[in-house]
Amino acid sequence: MKKYILPTLAIALVIFAVAGPLLVPVDPLAQNIVARFAPVGTPGHLLGTDNFGRDVLARIAAGAQVELFTALSATLLALAFGVTIGMTAGYSRGLTEGVLMRGIDVMLSIPPLILALLVVAALGPSVPTLIGVLALLFTPGFARVAYGQTLSVRNRQFVQAAIIFGAPRRSIVLGQILPNIMAPILAQASLTIAAAILVGSGLGYLGLGIRPPAPSWGGMVADGQRYMSSHPMLMIVPGLFVVCTILIFSALGDTLRTMWDPREQGGRS
């Protein structure tokens, strides 16, 4: 039963992001100065209100939708580009391998947060820009995983047999290699979602994420920090959501990697 806890929590977070605004039918942008700084547990405002009287729970739900949509979209883009690059380099070898993987090494040498800050500052904060930046940052990670796994799988007997019998290259790559490297790639995807939420929230905290007044967890933490001494829950509540979400997806990625790693399975047997 324990192995289902993390997937269940991850699914619950996704459901909360999708259905949260429906479950909390309050406009996250609606201001009510009279009800500003309502404490946690106030009737009608379960998690209280902020300095503009906006419902914190409604803003958390709307922020979850934006944060997870951004993280999932960036992860899918990074997975598509990274796996394509890694598999092409690992299967083709030679000059193609050298050019592609040296390019990945150059990308890995650039501090990710610095690159994100430069791109967002140049293009301006928006959801498409944030998704593109995050996808760019995490493409090298998928490329390295796909490259290493492809090098391992391409030397196996069933792949060599397909090559000997003249199977088309596309059929070998998509039908023989890709299914056998998906497990570590999916584990990497879970870890990437956590990292994308962390970077996205950090950019939101710095004012380079989602444009206000649209709610984002990082922006809510930054807004609440100004009232930390008098109303600490305005910073603590969104901060807890960020931390818990990152921990859940990080632990899920580690669990999946352990479950699918033959060396780990051999160690437990």
- The tokens for 134 are 């995050």
Query: Where does the pLDDT of residue 266 fall: very low under 50, low under 70, confident under 90, or very high at 90 and above?
Result: very low
Distance of alpha carbon 66 from alpha carbon 262, whole angstroms? 36
Domains and CATH numbers, the chain: 15-29+36-258 (1.10.3720.10)
Shortest CA distance to 260 belongs to which of 151, 148, 173, 185?
185
Give the pLDDT score at 146.
Answer: 92
What is the radius of gyration, based on Cα positions, of the chain?
22
pLDDT above 90 as % of the chain: 19
Interval 65-99: pLDDT, tens: 888 899 999 999 999 999 999 999 888 878 888 89
Answer yes or no: is pLDDT of 17 > 60: yes
Question: CB of 194 within 8 A of CB of 246?
Answer: yes
User: Which long-range contacts (C-beta less than 8 Å, at least 24 apart) are formed by 71-74?
Assistant: 71/134, 71/193, 71/196, 71/197, 71/200, 72/193, 73/131, 73/135, 74/130, 74/131, 74/132, 74/133, 74/134, 74/135, 74/138, 74/192, 74/196
| pLDDT given for residue 96 in this prediction | 85
Residues 177-193 have a mean pLDDT of: 88
Specify the pLDDT at position 260: 59
CA terminus-to-terminus distance, the chain: 19
Q: Which helix (H) or strand (E) holds 255?
A: helix 233-260
pLDDT, tens only, 128-146 = 888 998 999 999 999 999 9
